[in-house]
């Protein structure tokens, strides 16, 4: 399964990248599992960041949300617009 | 009459009078137009702010704002709604965001305008980075913004 990952704001800066395409091992089927797996691949900030938010295909999603092949999954800090 | 929902993300400034005039143009049902403008301050969390840069998530931002306006339209009897949010570099005193709502009477317009703004603050993917005398920093989310949004639930 292949997904596109996007990072924003302080998380993007800390990781030194705005996006990446990743091939996931079988068994990574939720946002929470994806985050843990990415943290284990050297994206340390994904493990330590507090209150990290996630969106799957541009809709806010919690850690239990399912992910599927071809999804666009974004991780970012709490929003501060307005 | 149609009831427009207009959502725009742009770097350019906006002309408040022109936007509000266009939102209500030719619609004699409208008896109330409530609007809110957010501005860049020159101080935040005890530090002077000389510049602010707004980042967003293209695509999701528009989708999230349209969903917030749709929710407002289910809760209140409103006609048109306009949300303009700027991105990119901004200076103190610059306009950041405009939310405007039209309705027959003021109650719906006031409430819907405040609701849209409160939800925007916690659900629309924008991030502020500000320049202070100690360097640049990402603005932290405020608990008070979460509390403001929760009032509507």
What is the DSSP annotation of B109-129? HHHHHHHHHHHHHHHS-EEEE
Q: Which residues of chain A have pLDDT under 70?
A: none
- pLDDT of B128 above 70: yes
Kindly report whether the global pTM for this prediction surpasses the value 0.90: yes
Confidence band of B94 (pLDDT split at 50, 70, 90): very high
Are the beta carbons of B60 and A77 separated by less than 8 Å? no
The reported pLDDT for the residue numbered A47 is: 92
- pLDDT of B1 above 90: no
Are the beta carbons of B55 and A9 separated by less than 8 Å? yes
- Determine what percent of chain A falls in helix, strand and coil, rounding each to the nearest 5: 25, 30, 45
CB-nearest to A79 from B97, B124, B129 is: B124
Question: Do B129 and B137 form a contact (C-beta atoms < 8 A)?
Answer: yes
Please enumerate in sequence order all residues whose Cβ is within 8 A of that of B130, keeping only pairs 6 or more positions apart, or say none: B44, B49, B51, B52, B53, B136, B137, B139
Distance from CA of A73 to the nearest CA of B (A): 11
Confidence band of B2 (pLDDT split at 50, 70, 90): low
CB-nearest to A82 from B59, B60, B117 is: B117
The reported pLDDT for the residue numbered A69 is: 97
The reported pLDDT for the residue numbered B3 is: 76
- pLDDT of B66 above 90: yes
**For the residues of A17-74, what is the DSSP string, one character each?**
-SEEEEEPPTT--BHHHHHHHHHHTT-THHHH-TT-EEEETTEE--TT-B--TT-EEE
Are the beta carbons of B122 and A79 separated by less than 8 Å? yes
Which CA distances in Å does A58 have to A38, A71, A75, B133? Answer: 19, 10, 11, 35
CB distance from B55 to chain A under 8 Å? Answer: yes
Which residues in chain B have their CB less than 8 angstroms from residue A54's CB? none
Question: Do B81 and B33 form a contact (C-beta atoms < 8 A)?
Answer: no
Distance from CA of B28 to the nearest CA of A (A): 30
CB-nearest to A81 from B59, B126, B140 is: B126
Q: What is the mean pLDDT of chain B?
A: 96
Count each helix (H run) and each strand (E run) in chain A, helices first.
3, 5
Token reading at B60 = 């999701």
Distance from CA of B126 to the nearest CA of A (A): 5
- pLDDT of B13 above 80: yes
CA B104 – CA B27 distance, rounded (Å): 10
The reported pLDDT for the residue numbered A30 is: 97
CB distance from B124 to chain A under 8 Å? Answer: yes
CA B76 – CA B56 distance, rounded (Å): 28
Are the beta carbons of B55 and A80 separated by less than 8 Å? no
B14-62, pLDDT tens digit by residue? 999 999 999 999 999 999 999 999 999 999 999 999 999 999 999 999 9
Q: What is the DSSP letter of B5?
A: E
Confidence band of B68 (pLDDT split at 50, 70, 90): very high
The reported pLDDT for the residue numbered B16 is: 98
């Amino acid at each position: 399964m292949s997904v596109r990952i996007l990072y924003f704001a302080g998380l993007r800066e800390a990781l030194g990248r705005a996006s990446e395409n990743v091939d996931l091992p079988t068994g990574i089927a939720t946002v929470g599992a994806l985050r843990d797996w990415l943290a284990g691949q050297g994206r340390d900030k994904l493990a330590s960041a507090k209150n990290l938010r996630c969106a799957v295909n541009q809709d806010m999603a919690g850690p239990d949300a399912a992910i599927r092949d071809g999804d666009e999954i974004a991780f970012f800090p709490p929003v501060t617009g307005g | 009459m149609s009831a427009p929902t207009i959502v725009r993300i742009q770097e350019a400034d906006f002309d408040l009078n022109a936007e509000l005039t266009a939102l209500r143009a030719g619609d004699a049902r409208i008896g109330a137009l409530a609007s809110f403008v957010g501005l860049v301050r020159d101080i935040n969390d005890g530090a002077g702010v000389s510049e602010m840069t707004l980042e967003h998530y293209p695509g999701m931002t528009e989708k999230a704002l349209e969903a917030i306006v749709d929710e407002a339209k289910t809760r209140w009897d409103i006609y048109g709604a306009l949300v303009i949010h700027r991105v990119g570099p901004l200076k103190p005193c610059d306009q950041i965001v405009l939310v405007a709502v039209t309705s027959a009477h003021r109650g719906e317009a006031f409430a819907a305008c405040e609701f849209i703004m409160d939800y925007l603050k916690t659900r629309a993917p924008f991030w502020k980075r500000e320049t202070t005398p100690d360097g640049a920093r990402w603005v932290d989310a405020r608990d008070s913004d979460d509390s403001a949004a929760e009032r509507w639930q």
